[in-house]
Copies of this chain bind each other. A is one copy, B any other.
Amino acid sequence: MPTISTPSKIAGTKSHGANVIFSGSTSVEREAVVAEVVEETGATLVPPYDHPDIILGQGTQALELEEQVERLLELEPALGVPGRKRLDAVIAPIGGGGMLSGICTALLGTGIKVFGAEPRFEGANDAEEGLRQGKRVESVKTLTIADGLRTPVGDIPWSIISDKEKLAGIYSVTEEQIKAALRLAMERAKLFIEPSAAVPLAVMLYNEEFRKLVEREAGEEGWNVGIILSGGNTTMEAIAKLFEAPSKVAERAEGKVTVDGDRIAENVAG
């Protein structure tokens, strides 16, 4: 794992019995360490997204979601669009693209539309841009708060998501929209998720193009949309940093306020 990984992710991994070996944070540094470990130990590399088995494995969540939604709407029809007993669409985050391309593969031929959701900050929407240009964007350098989605789309995932039969579209959102969706998920749905996980919810709530598409295709009736919230690798400190009181952020920019709002600079100067 990169040394800058979230402490709770490192602790969680170790708690499952893993021997965690650290690397630098760029993909070049990571791959060098992996090659070394494979060489020394004879370990089998399980790639994070750019492999057919990983894609198929991640796709199984779409099968579970389909089943869960059908069972839920059987029990509580009022939770869905009247008269519709199944999912109409699924929206999932896209970083390397293993999960999204797995979902596309699992749902191909079901009539359920699949959408991807990306952060937009500093070109993090490489998949959306790639689809626009008809060519995979091969490198990305962004510090979006959705840190699980900073990776460019991998080769094999790209071959799947760039197929219009498989993926219905990709939509992106701003940092503020991600924060607002994250707040809603935590404060109201009581789900402790990481910023990356809030990106599809942010698209649903705030992306105007996506809203227009749904209005056009689903009409007045609407769709039953499944939202993939993945994952939950964040810490209290990371959340604290994202949500410090806005007045403090503003005043901090002027360099004259402390955490608890005392104007130390003035006191000292006076």
Contact = CB atoms under 8 A, between A and B. Distances in A.
Interface residues of A, number: 38
A258 B267 CA distance: 14
Interface stretch (A119-127, A148-156, A228-236): A228-236
Contacts of A24: none
Interface string A207-250: 00000000000000000000000001011110111111100110
Contact of A192 (B186, B248, B255, B269): B186
A236 B246 CA distance: 12
Contacts of A241: 240, 245
A78 interface: no
A235 B187 contact: yes
Nearest to A263: B264
Give the most central of A190, A232, A252: most B CB within 10 Å: A190
Contact of A243 (B239, B245, B255): B239
Contacts of A85: none
A133 to B, nearest CB: 37
A164 interface: no
A135 interface: no
A265 interface: yes
A248 B190 CA distance: 28
Interface of A: 8, 12, 182-183, 186-193, 232, 234-237, 239-245, 248-249, 252, 255-260, 262, 264-265, 268-269
10 contacts: A182-B236, A240-B242, A252-B258, A255-B258, A255-B262, A255-B264, A257-B258, A258-B258, A264-B264, A264-B268
